[in-house]
Amino acid sequence: MEKIPTQIVMEGLAKIAVPDFSKYRRENGVYEPTWAPVFYNPLMKLNRDLSVAVIEAYSLRRKALKIADILAGTGVRGIRFALEVNNIDKVHINDKNPLAYEFMIKNIELNNVANKVEAENLDANLMLRYHRFVGELFDYIDIDPFGSPIEFIDSALATVRINGMLGITATDTAVLEGKHPSACIRKYFSKSVKTYFSKELAIRILLASIVLRAASHEMGVNVKLGYYNKYYVRVYVTISKGAKRADESLKKLGYVIFDREKETFFIVHDLAKLYSFTDGKRYVISGPIWLGKLGEKEFIEDVYKIITKKSHLKYKEITRLILMLKDELDYPPLYYNVDSLGKKLKISIPSMNNLFECLRKQGYNAIRVHCDPKGFKTDAPLETIIECFKKLSH
């Protein structure tokens, strides 16, 4: 570590030694975290801030938590849990990179958390399997990989306590959003489609894949929170045990049919119904996807309360995101996009406010979605949306 130029950053309540940003800049001056010998991405701060609030919300009404941050990099996230979450017993931070391990040791020292945080230097699957082998299960496991988290899910399921939580990031959004359909089938065993609602589809494909893996362990999945931000998907799920729970979760999987001709979509719960969409040129079948809600209202309300109480977590981007996620729970899966509809109808695109006003006058509700500035959810049928578009076009 002596040989690596470092700098100290403040994140949340932690002081973290990270590789010196100035040594790993692109020609345009932008810092490229993957070029550094140990990974730290300041752009993922919101992801970590929100994870602090989520873990605090999850820890309410539970015994002190045992946590594993299995792909820890500098250890920033796990150290922040130890410093910022009230109800923590122990945090194990792990990374297979020996240099990351040195940074983790240094950061534990810098933050004076050796009583609560322990660093490990193993392959993440081996680390989890070892803890399972010695009978040490975790209340919360964080999976924050480069790209897809899939290779770590089985070990995490094997090592999480009953009703324990998994926090999972996927940064391979191009795969989940349908830009590489074969890769999506290989990784997630789901068919994606590249269209205007693909960002939410990405969250739902990741969740379906977790449900399928959990089912093979006779476990059910409860979605506490799922969102898309910048270039990643993040989900928080709790795991219940038993074949019945697994079956209940599997019942929440289904498909979406994208109608290319009308630029709309249909949700299909029942596999047998897929056979009615025979026109392969017009209809694209995507799935399996998670058709349940992308969170639990009470849990999201707890997260929001925690954010508003901790001044360093309370900023516009995070509170706006949480409130939007809460509102979206009242609507069915997926969303429309004003630009795509306007293009399809070959008419001018109304402002979102005018469109919502028009839909409200017809007795329907509509809201913006968190993952797309041009996206909206509504309970209005497509015909009414088109009517409003036509009324507002000039």
Ligand X SMILES: C[S@@+](CC[C@H](N)C(=O)[O-])C[C@H]1O[C@@H](n2cnc3c(N)ncnc32)[C@H](O)[C@@H]1O
Residues binding ligand X (CB under 6 A): 39-40, 44, 48, 71-74, 76-77, 95-97, 100, 123-124, 144-146
Smallest separation, CB 68 to ligand X (Å): 11
- Collapsing DSSP to helix, strand or coil, 349 comes out as coil
Q: Which is nearer to ligand X, 95 or 200 (CB)?
A: 95
Q: Which is nearer to ligand X, 146 or 315 (CB)?
A: 146
Any alpha helices (H) in the chain, and if so which ranges?
A: 45-59, 76-84, 98-110, 124-133, 150-159, 173-176, 181-188, 198-216, 243-250, 297-309, 316-328, 338-345, 352-361, 382-392
Work out the burial of residue 211: count CB atoms within 10 Å of its CB; fewer than 13 is exposed, 13-18 middle, 19 or more buried.
buried
The amino acid that residue 236 corresponds to is Y
Smallest separation, CB 286 to ligand X (Å): 27
Smallest separation, CB 254 to ligand X (Å): 31
Smallest separation, CB 241 to ligand X (Å): 26
**Pairwise CA distance, residues 394 & 85, whole Å:** 53
- Collapsing DSSP to helix, strand or coil, 188 comes out as helix
Q: Which is nearer to ligand X, 69 or 372 (CB)?
A: 69
Structural contact between residues 302 and 308, judged by C-beta atoms closer than 8 angstroms: no
Q: Which is nearer to ligand X, 39 or 255 (CB)?
A: 39
> Residue 317 corresponds to which tokens in the numbers above?
């981007």
Smallest separation, CB 231 to ligand X (Å): 12
Cis, peptide link before residue 288, omega less than 30° from 0: yes
> Residue 359 corresponds to which tokens in the numbers above?
């839909």
Q: Which is nearer to ligand X, 72 or 303 (CB)?
A: 72
**Taking Cα atoms as reference points, which of 256, 140, 236 lies closest to residue 190?**
256
Q: Which is nearer to ligand X, 45 or 314 (CB)?
A: 45
Smallest separation, CB 87 to ligand X (Å): 21
Smallest separation, CB 91 to ligand X (Å): 12
- From residue 383, alpha-carbon distances to 52, 117, 262, 329 in Å are 43, 57, 11, 23
Smallest separation, CB 194 to ligand X (Å): 25
Q: Which is nearer to ligand X, 35 or 146 (CB)?
A: 146
How big is the chain, counted in residues? 394
Q: Which is nearer to ligand X, 142 or 263 (CB)?
A: 142
> Residue 103 corresponds to which tokens in the numbers above?
């940074």
Residues with Cβ within 8 Å of residue 251, at least 6 apart in sequence: none
**Pairwise CA distance, residues 377 & 330, whole Å:** 10
